Structure 1
């Protein structure tokens, strides 16, 4: 149970950082401060739900797409978040593509590094 909670916390923080970085880098992407938390929660929930589905479809129908399933799930999560929430606005096809890549890359790096920062004492106690 604690591992699931820790993973959820890391995912929320990583996705928040990724959305902020993408909005900061891309002029065609904007996040409003008021709806930011709602956008992060929606994005994280959609990403968590859609990623296993896309992986399963990739394995059974198109194994070639398995490597890109994380990018596809990130794009789907961005689309759903933009449609459902007023907190995320993305304009232009180039911005959509770059936003997908930036959010995916930053969240991957953040998910790798955040546990070392957040759970530093716990990890040190285990060793």
Structure 2
């Protein structure tokens, strides 16, 4: 259960990093302050729900696409987020393509680095061999 919560926290933070990076780098990628939390929640939920579905469909029908599942899932997550919230607007085909790449890239980097930052104490205890007490 703790791992699931930790994974969700990391995914939410990675989504926030990716969306903020795209909003900062692309003029036609608009992320409103009021809808920011909704956009993060919907985007993360869409990615977590759509990833297994897209993987299964691509594996059955187009095996060549299985390597690009993360990019397809990121694009689908952005699409669902723009449909369901007012917090995110993306204008132009090139912005959609570049935004997908930016959100995916920054999200990957965040997923790799954030656990070391957020769970620094737990990782240090695990490396030293100390017993980590269960969370209640």
Alpha-carbon distance in structure 2 between the residues aligned to 1:41 and 1:24 = 19
Deviation at 1:56, TM superposition (A): 1.0
Deviation at 1:21, TM superposition (A): 0.5
Deviations 1:44-103 (A, max 9, x none): 000000011111112121111000011011001101100110000100000000000000
Q: Which runs of 5+ in 1 are unaligned?
A: none
Matches within 5 A, 1:1-127: 1-127=1-127
TM-score, normalisation: structure 1 = 0.98
Alpha-carbon distance in structure 2 between the residues aligned to 1:98 and 1:51 = 20
Q: Which residue does 2:130 correspond to in 1?
A: none
TM-score, normalisation: structure 2 = 0.92
In proportion to residue count, which structure has more helix? 1
Q: Which runs of 5+ in 2 are unaligned?
A: 128-136
Structure index of larger Rg: 2
Name the SS for the 1:30 alignment partner.
strand
Runs of 4+ in 1 over 3 A off after TM superposition: none
Q: CA RMSD in A?
A: 0.5
